[in-house]
Structure 1
């Protein structure tokens, strides 16, 4: 018997838009359409459906719980109907324009309403007076969709953007705008732009303008795999199977495809569709699918998934089709085998990031706990208690002696310190099928995954000096470094193939001498660095391996701090960073070492990387002048002063991006991806909204001047009752000017210290000596300006003024002379005499506190 003969339509409604849905338990199938009544079918029965006549006409959408269902209609009403009495229960909300879609939260407490109005209303199903209004979208909304946990609501707007709201806070918050996945279309169009949340909660899919189904990760908002359909018409509806193993799509070309979500291949094509399908729904527990069309017809297809694939439908929850699974790539948060525990992954994926997240509880559970022999057959709760090795209850159920109410930790749970993961500076995670391997001021290298191999492209900013190149990468390089001499790549072990290092010089005066070398078996690459003299590799065995630019190994040693985190290099200097001792907060402190490879000298050995509490390291690099810099997760850029002198180094902040003037108005939400420091400027990529990494196409680099965080902004006005202490406009301007000059003095002092240290170990040129003199002049200029402000403030500020004079860099006495003249100009004669005495002490070589004969 053919499919056309076996599957007969049921005339559920008169011709027109017809929609349907199953109840979560699969017992009822509800259809609504252009005409009354709404029909309630009993699954698996050929009996006539129940008719609900007291309903609105021209229904455009329907959703259901096990006890009620909700329908929206073109007249703008959203009604709640009881499945127990099969009657209209209440009108939840009205809108002035047609309702296009409704979505019900998994707990059945909230319904989201999309209409031709600009506002999406989220209404409580028990108390219609409780309403949230989502107003970020500028145009009418076509679709709404809750994820499986009810934590997120995706809004498909007719402007071609998806607006994702977090529903876990007191007020819904817009957390992401997704552009380029759906196309702009009219709200009444048959084409679909609905977000299809995957059942595991970690991703969603949407129809694209190119008639494909694109998957996006909710964890990092990166595009994943794509279902490349053969539809020649617009996709009208699609749906995941209940366990996420299959996807069904249909379009205006009147073809229905069944897809394997893992292989992205079509399992079966149904081409007997005579009218365009407008809605489709999987049965929650059976191998059955139902769909409706514009003729008011309902089709119920049993045995929908072919027999050879039906076993997959009966398995537990399947993972979303990721190109590169963000959780699987993170060892600390790796996803367990779904076949061993689909319920755990479902809970983890659906509730991750919510205020009542179950992640901690899931991480505390072991497979042994799942298979325990203790059964709570009398409901007394023994199975939930912690048992000792003899199967007996311990006293873990008792409160602590001090009355603390902290959550009890299972006896099997041991303390694990928080270790900083390794990372490659300038590299980004996978974003869909591509990622940056390196991004700096020389250029950038990026790779595209072709599943069996990668393709690597290297582009330069100065294309007159270097030519861009690309190559096919069978080794799957995941790290890269780039400078004016060449490019260094590394790959991880793959099966029987060990980790690989590959260096490619840009230009040589002989034949280009590329080289590769393999690491010992089982050794993984943690980070790499490239300087003008050496290639550096740190590995999972805590080895530091150093090669010349021609591949000659010159040094191998084991790093003291472990596990290793990252490394950087400049000329003959190598800086390595690793995890050190555990702090009181349970987090490993980062330790760094700086070594001169050529001289075999250690400048700093296992010193602490100064990070703010709770902060992590985002990048480390040397500036164009050869000074080490770090950038942390709080947005602070720090440099290492006096690093060439053992035990004298200290981390000094040069920029706090949170205090940039562009953020003062509070209207921008942005962060910064560190790239480099050159010319005493910080170069970065500006990331908008919740973005954490730069994406394609290549972002434009932005530079910021250094600005040392000395003080917050001074208040311009006081509160009521503080009239006596209010600063007038002139006082406020003077205060801000003083802050500006103080910052300039400290900043130039830091830069002067950097230059002095550098020039003390190098042969300086006339230009370098001139630059050092200019920097010293900038320090003295700032101090003289501060002295001027103190002179203007009055004689009572004389002590501070004299202190400022003592800070002047004055090897020949000219600055003290200028300071004395400045004091006399403002008639500060006592101060002028003190400055003259200080000049005389310096002239005879006495300290300021020694008496002059």
Structure 2
């Protein structure tokens, strides 16, 4: 049931630690103490004290309660006595806020950047903290440690370690708070305190982007906890047990479940007049009850009970958390399960409950996932950003800063609570002679910006889920509305990054919609981080949701605009606990990155597919100007060997408003050598590679020629230094890097001066090579570039099916393969001859053809070529084949004795022919002729050699006859087993017949007889 005191000008509220007393201050300098929470009428309550001026803040301890007012005095009151207040601190300016710690310290701030710490038990002990540039708006202490969080009007949120002897803040959390310069504005009255969780592990804060984030106290990294659907957040309060968060938005209060991240209840004060539009400026949970109290801008005070519905756990009772079971290290399955559970944590730190929702509702137990032990430390992915984007500071924010200029968005608050704030977009250029300044009122609410080569790109996400997000492009030259175009996304989609690399042809209309086919939607792996574009490609950085090795594990993808092909893809060179701060494009067109430790890397060989590598060219920690200084650098652009940046002093993390003049820093590669000339040569060589890769069909250009000449001059100086130290191998290696042959003449003079004849000889040979290759060096380099960028050849066409063999399936035919005739490997088969000379090849049987195991249906048809070949073969005579007389004949059993007796036949004896042998014996017995032969006539032509056997050569007639007789009787069986019967029709031979003369013989048929 809500209660309120009416329009009494209340503006601050506070409970005692035990929740028994409530202190409420008003604009009249009155602090009222309430002990009976059932009656809040002013006449029924005691008047505690009067202050001279308006109360601004109230803080309590177990023994005291303190108040600050506009007279600049911090007063301390004893809670258990009516004694006069004690002034423990005073200032000439109005005191704005006060906070107490459990360690006995009180922090107080006035309308200024300083914070004063006073010991409550010894007010003479004080400390002064300095770090803000504007007024300090709110202060809050860590529940258990000596850590103090301060929120300033400059948008900074600083955390101080008061126990350490240091005047600088412990950390500067990324710019989360809005920067407000007008102290009388409505937004300045909002409670922007960092609300600590009772455990002290984190705190909650409302950001300038109308979101609620949770900042981890161990790493000081912020993650989004909740995004209110409407209106800005004006105050926050956490429940005593840390389970719920009260979110005030104008005159409405929402109760958020911190673990489940959902709103469980919403409350308003029905007695308040909605027409007055009261805005809640401070809210607090009662430590010992389910109740809330708050004050508004119209001076009303409200206490609301039963803020947390009965089905949920109480907001003030201690939460019972089930103790996690210790992991069993020897159980591999349980160990892997715990690792998977740790990897399941998303980038916003969402934890899973130990018990399900139904069990928690019935038993009132809530799981605190942050207390669960983890085997690995999960590193969340860093927040996505636009290159050159800064947080909101002093109602201003840079949407983009690059070498062209910057986009500045200014938030203009409404004149009163009935008017909403609006924004102004101002685009300024460093060279206004080329581009005109752009200034217009933003009625859409653009939050993202990008400065491209042809125009500006702006994007805005819708505050209502049913409305689409949109992108606006406005060219530089034509600023009229007819040339700009917009693109709307589907409802429910949000824009996290934009980039502009090219412009549509002049005169064309580009009204992009969901049905337009002007582009392509590419799916990226991982979560988006940032991107930047040139006129050729877009450089996209993305990464996993989380990692377990302490590094971001970010990847990049270089996508070509022409055909949307991926030119390069690899990891970013970021080490452990290092984040990406900036990405951009150098003047030469190479992608570059800047990390949180001040290092710059440039991507080389990015035009050659899969050949890119990161080269470190800058390390801010090694700069000479930084030695002894506490400064950092905000990169804007890279021009050759020059870094254009904004120098940030002290703990500043981003440029202030207005933008300081950019300064130029020389880029030096972090070499360990103290020789600056070596570093310059290496840097120029890297620059030459990038410039040469950018050439298309050109052989060279003026910039490359100039860079080569400067590099050759430096090389000559290094060679001279090497010769002075007698380092001949070093001089030779340096001479090989010289591009122009005319610079080798200077090297020859150096070698002659130091009388290095060997070096002189090698330089002359190198010069000859340079002069010979001078005309072809650039041409070869161009051909090499064209080879890397040459498109892949077209796919080969399919073969003509008319000449292709039919495709058969595996295991389609089960017939054995056809036999192949190999006469040389066949077994020998004996053949009976009537003469000692073998038969001619023409009389031998032809070799058997291979058997065809396939049917005629499976045979392929002969084509025209086969038919033509067949016709030619039928006309030409077949070639003469050589037949091995000892080859095996088909159909003959090799295991059977050819001279054996057939089964079932009569055994007969082969009779010897008498006519032939009788004539031979008669001729041998005849008397030899003693008449000498006369000489042969000289004119008689010499006849060719006569045919004979190897045994018949170089033998007389008797020897020939003896050998012939032995050949006829040679056999592997005895002659007694068979005999040969000669045919009587054999012709008779004349007396002058010789064995070498051929004669037609009639083959006799063997007749087998039994012996």
Q: TM-score, normalised by structure 1?
A: 0.58
2:160 paired residue among 123, 143, 166? 166
Q: Name the Cα RMSD after superposition.
A: 6.7
Contact residue 447 and residue 455 of structure 1 kept, 8 A: yes
Structure 1 residue aligned with 2:694, among 735, 738, 758? Answer: 758
- Measured in 2, the distance between the counterparts of 1:518 and 1:195 equals 34
Task: Output the CA distance in 1 between the equivalents of 2:480 and 2:87.
Answer: 80
- Alpha-carbon separation, structure 2, partners of 1:511 and 1:181: 33
Structure 1 counterpart of 2:747 = 819
- Matched residue, 1:739: 675
Of 554, 575, 597, which residue of structure 2 is paired with 1:634? Answer: 597
| Residue 684 of structure 2 is aligned to residue 748 of structure 1 | yes
Q: CA deviation at 1:657?
A: 2.8
Equivalent position SS for 1:662: coil
Matches of residues 306-317 of structure 1 in structure 2 within 5 Å? 311=304, 315=307
SS of 1:530's partner is coil
CA deviation after TM superposition for structure 1 residue 531, in Å: 2.5
Of 666, 686, 708 in structure 2, the residue corresponding to residue 705 of structure 1 is 666
1:783 aligns with 2:715: yes
Query: 1:614 aligned to 2:594?
Result: no
Secondary structure of the residue aligned to 1:637 is strand
Structure 2 unaligned spans of 5+: 26-30, 50-54, 197-203, 216-220, 223-227, 239-245, 252-267, 320-345, 413-419, 771-1011
1:772 maps to: 704
The one of 756, 763, 779 equivalent to 1:839 is 763
Q: How much has 1:263 moved relative to structure 2?
A: 13
Q: Does 1:808 align with 2:801?
A: no
Show the counterpart of 2:457.
488
SS of match in other structure, 2:554: strand
Aligned pairs for 1:83-482 (under 5 A) are 83=79, 103-107=98-102, 109-112=104-107, 122-125=117-120, 131=125, 133-134=127-128, 136=130, 145-147=139-141, 149=143, 151-152=147-148, 154=150, 166-167=160-161, 170-171=164-165, 173-174=168-169, 198=193, 200=195, 202=204, 245=248, 266=276, 304-305=301-302, 311=304, 315=307, 363-364=350-351, 366=353, 372-373=359-360, 408-409=372-373, 418-419=380-381, 421-431=383-393, 435-448=397-410, 455-471=424-440, 473=442, 475-482=444-451
Alignment of 1:573-652 (within 5 A): 573-579=537-543, 585=549, 589-598=553-562, 600=563, 602=565, 604-652=567-615
**Secondary structure of the equivalent of 1:611?**
coil
Contact residue 178 and residue 395 of structure 2 kept, 8 A? no
Q: Secondary structure at the match of 2:707?
A: helix
CA distance in 2, matches of 1:603, 1:569: 14
Q: Distance in 1 between matches of 2:137 and 2:559?
A: 59
CA contact (8 A) 2:473 2:486 kept: yes
Name the CA shift for 1:588/1:99 in 2 (closer, same or farther; >3 Å): closer
Question: In the TM superposition, what is the alpha-carbon distance from 1:47 to its structure 2 partner?
Answer: 10
After superposition, the Cα gap between the structure-2 partners of 1:340 and 1:264, relative to the gap in structure 1 and judged at 3 Å, is farther
C-alpha distance in 2 between matches for 1:659 and 1:118: 33
The structure with the greater share of residues assigned to strand is 1
In 2, the alpha carbon distance for the partners of 1:840 and 1:577 equals 50
User: Is the Cα–Cα contact under 8 Å of residues 466 and 492 in structure 2 kept in the other structure?
Assistant: no
Q: Which runs of 5+ in 1 are unaligned?
A: 10-18, 33-37, 53-58, 186-192, 206-213, 229-237, 249-257, 270-279, 292-300, 318-338, 347-358, 387-405, 536-546, 712-734, 847-853
Secondary structure in 1 matching 2:675: helix
1:146 Cα offset (Å): 3.9
Secondary structure at the counterpart of residue 683 of structure 1: strand
Deviation (angstroms), 1:78: 9.7
TM-score using structure 2 length: 0.50
Quick check: 1:479–1:527 contact (8 Å CA) kept in 2? yes
Retained in 2: the 8 A contact 1:629–1:639? yes
C-alpha distance in structure 2 between counterparts of 1:630 and 1:653, whole Å? 10
Paired residues for 1:648-659 under 5 Å: 648-659=611-622
CA contact (8 A) 1:156 1:195 kept: no
Aligned length: 661
Aligned to 2:485: 515
Relative to structure 1, is the Cα distance of residues 739 and 109 closer, same or farther in structure 2, using a 3 angstrom cutoff?
farther
Q: State the Cα deviation string for residues 257-306 of structure 1 (Å, max 9, x = none).
A: x999x99985579xxxxxxxxxx999968898999xxxxxxxxx9x844x
CA contact (8 A) 2:380 2:547 kept: no
Larger radius of gyration: 2
Conserved? CA contact 1:195–1:204, under 8 Å = no
Q: Determine the C-alpha separation between the residues in 2 that align with 1:217 and 1:580.
A: 21
